């Protein structure tokens, strides 16, 4: 009997290498990724290297270095990566003081029998496998944190809702962070999102296929700015934020994690592609299904590559940001520069 029950379905076949990434920084990510693929590297290598470019970019305030801290002034990082050839995956969440969370997630996949390690355990694992202590906060990110905090105080002071005003009676710890009841903080976070003061999207997602026809996907984020400590969104959740399977392709989601997790968006796109839908049709259908079942959903989006290496992307509108667009970048190894486009905005 074969020792590889998925065998012929999961083995890759020779094809043109390609890669897709999201948001305004996706262009730099795919350039790095395609360089990696052109050297004959694997899709996993390309995904990791592409995401590391964004994790290292202090201009991106929702991923890695330079991200806006959580409510206590610390940056907690989440990441996941998945190998479509084997269906193996690795993920970390609430990871502190590490430069490349996507690389730690890959080590979880390759060196342990686990899929997901979180919090202090993730930090200990990272140190054990060679990741040095690293401070991802920058002067700029701390400045943005303080500005955001002042804006929130101003909103609270002018609010006619007594519960909101009461929520902001807090003790500030030195010049960073604060302590307050978790339930009150949660309600304030909701207010922040509704007022459009907190960007609730902009992770970095990457999907790649290599010359052997093997797919990989990965996602990395610092999560919602000013989030509750320990809050985890969809990005490190296999099936919600990230999924890859050679039988279908791969997908990475971005947006409001609480909505995405309820619908396992990345896996839903892959299911549709396995059933024969193109990457573009699968993304649009999956996003539309969320709109049909959610009341007033916040922004969610997804990118994908189907089993032919063709790209897809779709997004809902952002109800608090006028003129919202969801840009993505795609490149295959025969292209001289990335294709950068805005994904279709799906409405009910």
Residues annotated as catalytic (active site), given as ranges: 203
CB 78 within 8 A of CB 95: yes
Residues 6+ apart with CB under 8 A from 251: 207, 217, 242, 243, 244, 265, 266, 267, 269, 270, 282, 283, 302, 303, 304
Instruction: In whole angstroms, give the CA distance from residue 213 to residue 151.
Output: 49
DSSP string, 62-120: TSSTTPPP-TTS---EEEEEEETTT--EEEEEEE-S-S-HHHHHHHHHHHSS-SEEEHH
Tokens of 182: 């978790």
CB 220 within 8 A of CB 95: no
CB atoms < 10 A from the CB of 230, how many? Answer: 12
Cα radius of gyration rounded to whole Å, the chain: 20
């Amino acid at each position: 009997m074969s020792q590889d029950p998925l065998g012929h379905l999961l083995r890759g076949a020779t094809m043109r290498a390609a890669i897709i990434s999201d948001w305004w920084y996706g262009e730099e990510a795919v350039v790095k990724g395609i360089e990696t693929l052109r050297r004959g590297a694997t899709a996993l290598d390309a995904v990791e290297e592409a995401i590391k470019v964004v994790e290292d970019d202090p201009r991106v305030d929702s991923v890695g270095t330079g991200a806006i801290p959580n409510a206590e002034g610390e940056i907690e990082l989440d990441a996941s990566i998945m190998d479509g050839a084997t269906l193996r995956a690795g993920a970390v969440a609430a990871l502190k003081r590490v430069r490349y969370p996507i690389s730690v997630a890959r080590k979880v996949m390759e060196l342990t029998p686990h899929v997901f390690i979180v919090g202090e355990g993730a930090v200990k694992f990272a140190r054990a496998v060679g990741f040095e202590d690293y401070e991802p906060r920058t002067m700029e990110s701390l400045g943005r944190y303080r500005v955001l905090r002042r804006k929130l105080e101003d909103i609270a002071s002018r609010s006619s809702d007594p519960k909101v005003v009461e929520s902001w009676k807090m003790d500030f710890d030195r010049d960073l962070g604060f302590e307050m009841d978790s339930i009150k903080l949660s309600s304030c976070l909701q207010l922040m999102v509704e007022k459009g003061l907190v960007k609730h999207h902009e992770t970095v997602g990457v999907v790649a296929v290599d010359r052997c026809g093997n797919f990989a996907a990965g996602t990395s984020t610092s999560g919602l700015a000013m989030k509750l400590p320990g809050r985890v969104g969809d990005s490190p959740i296999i099936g919600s934020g990230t999924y890859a399977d050679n039988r279908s392709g791969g997908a990475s989601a971005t947006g409001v994690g609480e909505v995405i997790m309820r619908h396992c968006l990345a896996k839903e796109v892959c299911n549709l592609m396995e059933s024969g839908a193109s990457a573009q049709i699968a993304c649009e259908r999956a996003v539309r299904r969320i709109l049909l079942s959610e009341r007033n959903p916040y922004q969610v989006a997804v990118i994908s590559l189907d089993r032919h290496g063709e790209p897809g992307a779709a997004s809902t509108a952002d109800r608090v940001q006028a003129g919202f667009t969801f840009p993505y970048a795609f490149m295959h190894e025969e292209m001289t520069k990335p294709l950068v486009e805005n994904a279709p905005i799906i409405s009910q």
